[in-house]
């Protein structure tokens, strides 16, 4: 299997499965759900309308949301009609976090983030054909609802004892922070969303993360009480690493799908660094590779793990899905060139600079001795160590071996930067300023 081709898998369902439900199960995307037999029949039958909601509690979606975006797309590929909901009202409140109240953002901030998230969600859906997607905002039906109407028409259908048992609420009740009535009521607002979408579009399925299960079933229960019909929910698993750590977090920093918040280069490196124990499951969840192709990569992980073929394909697929083929080609070229497998001078200046931002780096004046730059970037701890590394032939500047310690850093690469390497794998960026 080629590791170098930049051809990605088509955005299509796996023909090995007759029913998209079976593919979702095989990919590990069903952690919890309403009646499975009913869901299988529903997804294997005539087109239905389904939805997933995204709250604007940040200016970008992150990797956890990407699971939902790709799940929405898979179900649409089976002929069903997606609704992408961005929560202009629920985003003003925020679902309860496990430990503390959310900081309430201003209405202006939430409105701005609604627009940003709407654009992000839209990239993963098709708005053409008989099963064209539709974007909706729950502020449209929540804002006109008076407090009296909310209590009379919705609140009377909820039992406080049941609400207290929801995992998110129970966790907060047992914490030092407690929970406000505002966040306690969040599950009712999400229930209203499902009810409204059922009434407007005959929406009969909601997907979301399994940590949202209490909010998902708030809607199924409300519709059953008011309308007397059964609708469905699917909770996808929370993705964790094989060592039990939370996926997509590094020292508290989320991996965002906005290129300005997580650069395409950093995004690519994140996927490239996936552990062997996790990479096959990541291929199932985050790519459109078929079960047969993934089986081949699983075999390569076992037989030739040093080639990291599965990780390279995973990074190629996901970065292309999120940032496009052109950006992916640029970051792969940058990654190869930085590690001595390409021409640094041929790289795109923006991509090179963002790549160097992810490395140890320093800003120095043009004409700084390499010895000083090595110390400034932290590649060595002292000038004497720098001179010794140079004399041993272990230092390169912009891809060329440094012959003696009189060499100067001039920032000759695109964008006026330089790259220092000590040994084969220890790199640093130098910005001229």
The domain ranges of the chain are: 29-236, 344-433
C-alpha dihedral sign at 390, 392, 394, 399: positive
**Same-fold call for 29-236 versus 344-433:** no
CA–CA separation, 92 vs 113, rounded Å? Answer: 11
Cβ atoms 255, 63 nearer than 8 A: yes
pLDDT of residue 3: 44
pLDDT of residue 2: 40
Alpha helices in 45-100 (DSSP H): 63-77
CA–CA separation, 134 vs 204, rounded Å? Answer: 15
Which residues of the chain fall below pLDDT 70? 1-5, 249-252
CA–CA separation, 175 vs 170, rounded Å? Answer: 9
What tokens were used for 109? 């901030």
- pTM here is 0.91
Cβ atoms 49, 132 nearer than 8 A: no
pLDDT of residue 415: 94
Cβ atoms 87, 115 nearer than 8 A: no
CA–CA separation, 140 vs 145, rounded Å? Answer: 10
Instruction: Name the nearest CA neighbour of 201 among 53, 71, 50, 79.
Output: 50
Instruction: Name the nearest CA neighbour of 297 among 25, 70, 9.
Output: 9
Length of the chain: 433
CA–CA separation, 201 vs 50, rounded Å? Answer: 9
The matching CATH number, chosen from 3.40.50.2000, 3.40.50.620, 3.30.420.40, 3.40.50.261, for 29-236 is 3.40.50.620
Instruction: Name the nearest CA neighbour of 428 among 348, 374, 383.
Output: 374
Cβ atoms 231, 75 nearer than 8 A: no
pLDDT of residue 5: 54
CA–CA separation, 235 vs 214, rounded Å? Answer: 10
Cβ neighbours, 10 Å, residue 367? 10
CA–CA separation, 223 vs 202, rounded Å? Answer: 11
pLDDT of residue 134: 98
Cβ atoms 347, 409 nearer than 8 A: no
pLDDT of residue 269: 95
CA–CA separation, 269 vs 121, rounded Å? Answer: 23
Alpha helices in 1-156 (DSSP H): 20-26, 36-43, 63-77, 107-122, 139-142, 147-149
Say which CATH superfamily domain 344-433 falls into. Answer: RNA-binding S4 domain (3.10.290.10)
């Amino acid at each position: 299997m080629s590791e170098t081709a930049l051809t990605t898998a088509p955005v299509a369902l796996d023909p090995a499965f007759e029913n998209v439900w079976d593919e979702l199960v095989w990919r590990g995307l069903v952690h919890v759900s309403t009646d499975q037999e009913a869901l299988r029949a529903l997804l294997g039958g005539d087109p239905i309308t389904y939805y997933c909601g995204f709250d604007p509690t940040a200016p970008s979606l992150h990797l956890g949301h990407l699971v939902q975006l790709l799940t929405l797309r898979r179900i649409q590929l089976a002929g069903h009609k997606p609704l992408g909901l961005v929560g202009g009202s629920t985003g003003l409140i925020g679902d309860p976090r496990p430990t503390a109240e959310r900081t309430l953002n201003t209405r202006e901030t939430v409105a701005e983030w609604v627009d940003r998230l709407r654009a992000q969600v839209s990239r993963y859906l098709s708005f053409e054909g008989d099963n064209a997607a539709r974007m909706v905002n729950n502020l449209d039906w929540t804002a006109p609802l008076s407090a009296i109407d909310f209590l009379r028409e919705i609140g009377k259908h909820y039992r406080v004892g049941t609400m207290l048992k929801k995992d998110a609420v129970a966790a907060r009740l047992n914490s030092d922070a407690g929970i406000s009535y505002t966040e306690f009521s969040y599950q009712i607002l999400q229930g209203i969303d499902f009810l409204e979408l059922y009434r407007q579009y005959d929406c009969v399925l909601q997907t979301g993360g399994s940590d949202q299960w209490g909010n998902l079933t708030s809607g199924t229960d409300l519709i059953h009480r008011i309308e007397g019909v059964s609708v469905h929910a699917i909770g996808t698993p929370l993705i964790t690493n094989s060592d039990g750590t939370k996926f997509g977090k590094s020292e508290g920093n989320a991996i965002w799908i906005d290129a300005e918040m997580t650069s395409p280069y950093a995004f690519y490196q994140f996927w490239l660094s996936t552990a062997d124990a996790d990479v096959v499951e990541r291929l199932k969840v985050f790519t459109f590779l078929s079960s047969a192709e993934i089986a081949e990569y699983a075999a390569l992980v076992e037989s030739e793990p040093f080639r990291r073929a599965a990780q390279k394909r995973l990074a190629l697929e996901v970065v292309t899905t999120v940032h496009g083929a052109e950006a992916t080609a640029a970051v792969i070229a940058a990654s190869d060139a930085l590690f001595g497998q390409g021409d640094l001078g041929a790289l795109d200046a923006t991509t090179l600079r963002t790549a160097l931002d992810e490395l140890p780096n320093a800003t120095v004046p043009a004409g700084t001795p390499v010895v000083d730059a090595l110390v400034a970037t932290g590649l060595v701890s002292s000038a004497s160590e720098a001179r010794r590394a140079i004399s041993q032939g272990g230092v390169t500047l912009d891809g060329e071996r440094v012959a003696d310690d009189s060499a100067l850093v001039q920032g000759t690469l695109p964008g006026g930067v330089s790259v220092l390497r000590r040994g084969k794998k220890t790199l640093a960026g130098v910005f001229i300023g």
